[in-house]
Structure 1
């Protein structure tokens, strides 16, 4: 018997996701390029040209010194970009010290670093050294400086952490990496489309950043999958290249082989439609919503973390959290159990008011 056509879930009560509804132009562009493969650029020339546009657009957001010449590609998401950043740094570090023979390579990252760095360490056979945060959930530069040594291939800074939306002291971390001859990577997968409209120092212009993760399918309002890996210099991508003898393009720096042109085309369409004014308006609206929600929670006696980027964490009891989930709200928790709400473009003030109304009903 034929089953009813399934419908995608509504975003109306989704408060925990770092993905959002794609811009209509991005949705249409993704559909047009569904069957193209950026992994074979000599065959699929149109989508290869689009990928160059996507990289230039992302590099512009991240203040690359020469966006039109920036190295990078559209990944499946932040996880792939972070894995590739570790792989590039490892390969470059091993090559520069080949005369010293086999030795352990390490990556130094704050405890707030995304779980993809744990995957990268396991896959690539490097040691991941995680260091404590300061009292405001940011990387502690002194702890980072104490953890690095001459076997450190990469130092990681986070620009928009997944649990608290915090921005690490990127210039200080970059200086530490530079002092020990390590690469420096900034994970701005979520924050990269918000940070250009703040006064935070996070980009290629602010520190000696070698590689940077920035995802169009998050606040960029592109369809999934559409992540991004950027590099200051071609050498970072050259360190990833492998031979592809049966393709017209004879080498490839990406992690996956076949990739969907949908993410590439969707990313370009979203950036064309929204940069800069549309993104600025969305970022300002999200920041106002986060401040409002944090204030409403604090007024009710909850210990709420003051938002830095549009993400709210608050110490809501487990029984109330479960009741909110039972009421249909898609909320999540931090590692220490706090309620976590991400104010993405689809999250409206009306939805947040309804959320607070349900919380008040649950508390009675």
Structure 2
């Protein structure tokens, strides 16, 4: 029988993950609420109250004090649910609903389209963000939602969210923003991306990414509870009468850890971490450029660099957990566990590989 490892893989050389070590308070809270079920709020009243607290805290992050929502399993569930809200809200108006997304939208939207039976229309990008004219061309009277990305998973880019919200409003569609990764750094930038700066309807934001909660702890937020009502089904054998979540039973670990992390870190801790991570992204960019690599400028703390296959393979052999973008660049996500010391070690390994092998830069 295989024994469960006492210590799972550490984060010492993990460069491309969008998850990180939970904050100590989040880890402790997750352990204490592991066996509770916020999917049955009538029975598990304490964790249900914590979930309301989590949503309130997320409302402060995204600029909407009276936000509605719940703690989901992650960005995929939240994005599927946002598409489901849009489809259900307009189901009497169209038999052929479509959702328009920019080309860099997360792959979960393709899952949503498949599961929900809606047409997914993709619009090309311009300088790594949604091309507004291309989005407009894809929209018609059967469009139920227009999606914007606030912190893309490959390059950390932010679409023109107010403009996309206006395009959605022009045809009476909903506007959904996927800020799963970017939501905990964007409050400290000058981008217009949230409920306070654009007429958006729903948003995905994940505490288990840069929010430093334990996995799983995603977030689906809505401008008002009437949008969540589009998801409600009857729950006849529970003390509560209906349920809006996609999953039924959910561990309270994610809920409790999200509250603990945000209470410990919002806003000053997140602000400090963003400034440190962005500085590290710019430091790594300069080091890679000095070694002859083409690097996509880091708008948020993600660095993408064009590296030869042999170098990537050798770095992986040395234990670096490094993924590629769709255009085959090496992708480094400056999560809280990726500090300057780790990056120096990474650059040193690059230099050693160049010295050891005849690899073109």
Cα deviation code 1:70-93 (max 9, x no counterpart): 210000000000000000000001
- 1:2 CA drift (Å): 7.6
| Equivalence for 2:228 | 237
Given the alignment, which residue of 54, 70, 73 partners 2:70?
Answer: 73
How many angstroms apart in 2 are the aligned matches of 1:2 and 1:342?
Answer: 33
How many angstroms apart in 2 are the aligned matches of 1:124 and 1:59?
Answer: 28
How many angstroms apart in 1 are the aligned matches of 2:264 and 2:224?
Answer: 28
How many angstroms apart in 2 are the aligned matches of 1:40 and 1:219?
Answer: 28
How many angstroms apart in 2 are the aligned matches of 1:319 and 1:59?
Answer: 46
Cα deviation code 1:235-289 (max 9, x no counterpart): 1100000011110101000000000100000000000000111000001100000
How many angstroms apart in 2 are the aligned matches of 1:269 and 1:166?
Answer: 28
| Equivalence for 2:283 | 292
Cα deviation code 1:126-185 (max 9, x no counterpart): 000011000x21001110011000100000000000011100011111110010111000
| Equivalence for 1:106 | 98
Cα deviation code 1:102-128 (max 9, x no counterpart): 621100000100000000000000000
Instruction: State whether structure 2 residue 344 is matched by structure 1 residue 347.
Output: no
Matched residue SS, 1:130: strand
Matched residue SS, 2:321: coil
Instruction: State whether structure 2 residue 109 is matched by structure 1 residue 117.
Output: yes
Instruction: State whether structure 2 residue 73 is matched by structure 1 residue 82.
Output: no
How many angstroms apart in 1 are the aligned matches of 2:36 and 2:197?
Answer: 36
Instruction: State whether structure 2 residue 320 is matched by structure 1 residue 323.
Output: no
How many angstroms apart in 1 are the aligned matches of 2:183 and 2:86?
Answer: 21
How many angstroms apart in 2 are the aligned matches of 1:33 and 1:22?
Answer: 15
Q: 1:90 to 1:2 in 2, by over 3 A?
A: closer
Instruction: State whether structure 2 residue 131 is matched by structure 1 residue 131.
Output: no
- Gap regions ≥5 residues in structure 2: 356-361
How many angstroms apart in 2 are the aligned matches of 1:2 and 1:31?
Answer: 24
Counting matched residue pairs gives: 355
Matched residue SS, 1:230: strand
For 1:86-97, list aligned pairs within 5 A. 86-95=83-92, 97=93
| Equivalence for 1:272 | 263
- 1:5 CA drift (Å): 3.6
- Gap regions ≥5 residues in structure 1: none
How many angstroms apart in 1 are the aligned matches of 2:287 and 2:6?
Answer: 36
- 1:196 CA drift (Å): 0.3
How many angstroms apart in 1 are the aligned matches of 2:315 and 2:192?
Answer: 36
Given the alignment, which residue of 225, 230, 234 partners 2:216?
Answer: 225
How many angstroms apart in 2 are the aligned matches of 1:320 and 1:6?
Answer: 33
How many angstroms apart in 1 are the aligned matches of 2:195 and 2:79?
Answer: 16
Matched residue SS, 1:10: coil
Given the alignment, which residue of 346, 350, 354 partners 1:359?
Answer: 350
- 1:4 CA drift (Å): 6.7
- 1:37 CA drift (Å): 0.2
| Equivalence for 2:146 | 155
| Equivalence for 2:49 | 49
For 1:189-268, list aligned pairs within 5 A. 189-268=180-259
- 1:212 CA drift (Å): 0.3
| Equivalence for 1:21 | 21
- 1:6 CA drift (Å): 4.0
How many angstroms apart in 2 are the aligned matches of 1:150 and 1:42?
Answer: 41
- 1:3 CA drift (Å): 3.6
TM-score norm. by structure 1 comes to 0.96
Matched residue SS, 2:177: strand
